[in-house]
Structure 1
Amino acid sequence: MRCFGRGALAIVCLAALAGCGSFNAEKPAPQPIVPPSAPKVVGPPTAVSQEQARIAAAYGGVYDKPELTALLNSVADRLAATSDRPDLRYKVTLLNSPLVNAFALPNGSLYVTRGLLAIANDTSEVAAVLAHEMAHVTARHAFQRADEERKAVLVSRVVSDVLEDREAGAVALAKSKLSLASFSRSQELEADRIGVQNIARAGFDPYGASRFLLSMGRQTELRSAALGQKPAQPGLDFLSTHPSTPERVQLAVSAARQIGAPGLGERDRDRYLAALDGLVYGDDPSQGYARGRRFLHPRLGFTFMAPEGFIFENGSEALLGVAPDGRALRLDAARLGSGQSLDGYIQEGWIEGTEPGPVERLDINGMEAVTIVAKGSEWTFRFVAVKFGADVYRLIFAARELTPEIDAGFRASLSSFRRLSQAEIDSARPLRIETETVRPGETDATFAARMALPDRAVERFAVLNGFAPGEPLRAGAKVKVVRE
């Protein structure tokens, strides 16, 4: 686990960790930190370019599931043959990340995360994702955007340097950024339109795009609700790089209706679910498992519980936790400097921008630890450093007002930090997607009761399978469930 920046007030940014996933991201986001011994990329390093290796490493490596990767590449081949550039060839790489994302490089390399595939429910939905990314390539969107960015920088420099008006240069740059956002937004909508047309030509159901976009939007809303956050209001992302999901769903439906009524084309749900069966769902073993309030990391050998009301999120540089009332926590690890004590470490590295209190020494389940309380302008923090072998695990608890009751919850959470027994390590298993056949009389509640999910199991089952809330299940149909 990587160490983080010194500024303690940075923890207030935790509320932003529930950002919306999208299958049109322009650049990869980092994956949760893994121990150095964890494998990064499947296969020899010489088999991928430097850029491809960087992308794979940022997303936890390549996920090895041959039957699913073969299905993805067969779909890409069909789409390429009916695209505007049938001479181009594509290769799909499956990334080991729970994030919902897909993107393409101009050379035809397509990347899809297992988190995205978990939401998709048939081959036509996956085809819609791939066709969207292929449209970015055939329409040369990356080159167009790079050209627009160069123009924006040139305009601001001319105004600022040549005309010697820095204020006007800043205004020009701001206007250019708004123009770029609108430009990128129009590219996303264009890629959606081209993608729907392409999957129809390839024989897939053109309504697969709207179904997947709807599931993606519902997944985002469910994730926000679990973290105690309000869903984004319509229209607030008008100038964002990616258009709002409702707008994209509407466009995708309109594009499909121009082709024909629902019922056209191939969906092939059973084939897709068969290839998906056994896929790791959520955190990979190398990242540790965040299960509701509990976090355990079998490879690093520790576990602890967050205070009441918290939900964990395995972040890009640390384990994060938030509660609906604004409380937050962060956990990561570092190494002490030569001859450095815990007392010196906690005072030297964590108190920028705060007023620290006295150092308190603790024994946490046989491990040496120190803690201090530090007050910032708007937040109060409890910093903790726990000696764990050669590492130091660092916890930050944050609240706008550190009342005795809240601090008692923080201390209880701290007291739960302990080593895992060998039996616990051996029994820890990742969550996986399994496919089952609906039997007569079974409902969404029937399957939700058998799911290894800590909360909102009925809602999660519906979103996972693309069902409307309360939709009756058809006997004989295949469904996805999450099991440990």
Structure 2
Amino acid sequence: MSLPRVMFPDPTVRPLRRLLAACGVALALAGCASDHVGVGTLRGKAPAGAPRVAGVDTPGSRDHRNLVSMFGGEYRYGQAERMLNDVMARLTAASERPDQSYRVTILNSPAVNAFALPNGNLYVTRGLLALANDTSEIAAVMAHEVAHVSANHAVARAELQRRAELVSRVVAEVLEDPAAGQAAQATGQFNLASFSRAQELEADQIGVRTLAKAGFDPFGAARFLGSLGRQAAMRSALLGEKPSQQSMNFLSTHPSTPERVAQALAAARAIGGPGLGESDRGRYLAAIDGITYGDDPAEGMVRGTRFLHPHLGFTFTAPPGFVLENSAVAVVGLAPGGAQALRFDSVKLPDDTTLEAYLSSGWIEGVKVSPPESLEPEGLDGLTTVARGDDWTFRLAAIRSGAAVYRFILAARTLTPEVDRQFRRSIASFRTLTAQEIASIRPLRVALASAKPGDTPETMGGRMAIPDHPVERFMALNGLERNAAIRPGQTYKIVVE
């Protein structure tokens, strides 16, 4: 199972958020290009493909191994790696620290993300590679991360965080004033967020200048940031949410996408007009042709409202309208508007623990659990119950299959009979996959398609092997504005099996 973090609309529902939010990672990253489209998928152990580093175990090598394992392992794709290495060599020579060495790693994650460590290890996810549309766009992302390293942003941020924590601890413990300590901590968080926002904008500015100096189109940065914004807007629309007002969130560690686009455009215009520098769309698309798109089947796959795990051999279907996201720790889903939510994961129970005892043990704080009742999805041993809290009601289920116990946590602000029936149908849909079904499952991949005369976003979206909102996903994948015309003969990215 594999997922970017899902934040619920009501921040006061702390037990629910603790259950359904994916874990964060406390590493001193120099930057993050995702702008909240997704944070990296977190892995608890290194997959089979993760690299093993021999020799002296330095902090830098440990950070690298941890990051690679937490983001699904290293994704090897020769043609993309060669392209990234060529881009990196040009950017390094044009950067403020041409003596700094860099190592680029592609991460096996569908999240749209990029970051760098202070030692020059730079990471891009295959999800980000799929979203970019030409060489100057991916160069812009990498130039942004190079700017974080050359400006020592991670070191400066870590020092500010250390000082803020020290001040709040002294006020709370030495002066014996917890309230003042909390106030000092809040002030420190505000300063830290503002500092990080300033770092992002500075890295954007440095990155655009480096991009142009290396011979790439400096407008590639604004184009990619625009695609990032459209990706985020599409996701909000799928969830039935209003567009986020990040510019009003003073604790946001990234400036809002419109702000970044505007500043990146201004920086590019200060260098020259459109058409300056290389974009090389054809070379870039050829380099990512065939790259895996979306979930890795080894970690389970989302197909619309259905989740399939060919390796573990099971599937289930979420209630209608749910948008599912997959992570190493759980499958999480939201209904449009956020009034209903789902979490599915697995646990291993001690041999002497019954399902009834486990179901009544209190998965969620501050709720009243009803007596469990039996259920038998496809003949498996299972129990379900209802747990009621002040703001949310939960339909819980535990299903034993082999050595594992699979958990459903379905939450609703108002558990009407119809909503509960949908929850129960989702739980009852859990079943084992047949050998034939497992053999038929194929990963999705990016493919190139040439537009024909008369093609529209709808006809191009019809070629996508994605059951939900294929047109919107086609537009986001190709960086197209709403109502954009399709050019006959132009090459576009689609998703196929």
TM-score by length of structure 2 reads 0.90
Q: Is the 8 A contact 1:9 1:353 kept in 2?
A: no
For residue 293 of structure 1, the aligned residue among 302, 305, 329 is 305
Partner of 1:172 in structure 2? 184
Structure 1 residues 397, 167: CA separation in 2 closer, same or farther (over 3 Å shift)? closer
Corresponding position of 1:120: 132
Identity of aligned residues (%): 53
Instruction: Check 1:200–1:415 CA distance in 2 against 1; reply closer, same or farther (3 A cut).
Output: same
Matched, 1:269 2:281: yes
Deviation per CA, 1:130-176: give whole Å up to 9, x if none.
Answer: 00000001111111112222332343345445555443343233222
Structure 1: state its 5+ residue gaps: 3-7
Alignment of 1:212-231 (within 5 A): 212-231=224-243
Give 1:24 deviation, angstroms. 5.9
Code of the residue aligned with 1:363 in structure 2: it is E
Greater alpha carbon shift after TM alignment, 342-351 vs 174-183: 342-351
Check conservation: 1:205, 1:263, Cα contact below 8 A: yes
2:54: which partner in 1? 46
Q: What residue identity is the alignment partner of 1:252?
A: A
| Residues 390-469 of structure 1 mapped to structure 2, 5 A cutoff | 390-469=403-482
**TM-score, normalised on structure 1?**
0.92
The Cα shift of 1:15 comes to: 8.1
Is the CA contact 2:16–2:364 (under 8 Å) kept in the aligned structure 1?
no
**Could you say if the C-alpha distance between residues 411 and 170 of structure 1 is closer, same or farther in structure 2, counting changes exceeding 3 Å?**
closer
Mapped partners of 1:462, 1:298: distance in 2: 30
The answer to whether the aligner puts 1:372 opposite 2:413 as a matched pair is: no
Report the AA paired with residue 457 of structure 2: D
Question: In the aligned structure 1, how far is the partner of 2:40 from the partner of 2:212?
Answer: 34
- Number of positions where the alignment pairs a residue of Structure 1 with one of Structure 2: 474
* Deviation digits for residues 399-449 of structure 1 (CA, Å, limit 9, x no counterpart): 122221111111111111111011110001111100122222222221101
Aligned CA distance change for structure 1 residues 52 and 287 (closer, same or farther; 3 Å): same
CA 1:89–1:351 in structure 2 vs 1: closer, same or farther (change >3 Å)? closer
Could you tell me how far 1:338 is from its partner in structure 2?
Answer: 1.8
Report which stretch shifted further, 238-247 or 165-174.
Answer: 165-174
Which residue, out of 231, 237, 262, partners 2:249? Answer: 237
Deviation at 1:254, TM superposition (A): 0.1
Shift of 1:40: 4.5
Please give the alpha-carbon distance, in whole angstroms, between the structure 1 residues aligned to 2:166 and 2:427.
53
Unaligned runs of 5+ residues in structure 2 are: 3-12, 25-30
Matches within 5 A, 1:34-433: 38-41=47-50, 43-46=51-54, 49-161=61-173, 163=175, 165-233=177-245, 235-325=247-337, 326-350=339-363, 352-433=365-446
Contact kept? 1:447, 1:461, Cα under 8 Å: yes
Q: 1:23 aligns with which of 24, 33, 40?
A: 33
Distance in 1 (CA, whole Å) between partners of 2:256 and 2:204 is: 13
2:492 corresponds to which residue? 479
Q: Is the 8 A contact 2:46 2:69 kept in 1?
A: no
Q: Which moved more, 1:129-138 or 1:282-291?
A: 282-291
Q: What is the match of residue 5 of structure 1?
A: none
Q: CA deviation at 1:54?
A: 0.2
For 2:401 and 2:165, the matched residues in 1 are separated by 49
Letter in 1 for 2:212: A
Q: Which residue identity is paired with 1:450? A: R
Task: Report which stretch shifted further, 317-326 or 107-116.
Answer: 317-326
- CA drift of 1:306 comes to 0.8
Q: 1:404 to 1:163 in 2, by over 3 A?
A: closer
How far residue 23 of structure 1 moved from its aligned partner, in angstroms, is 0.8
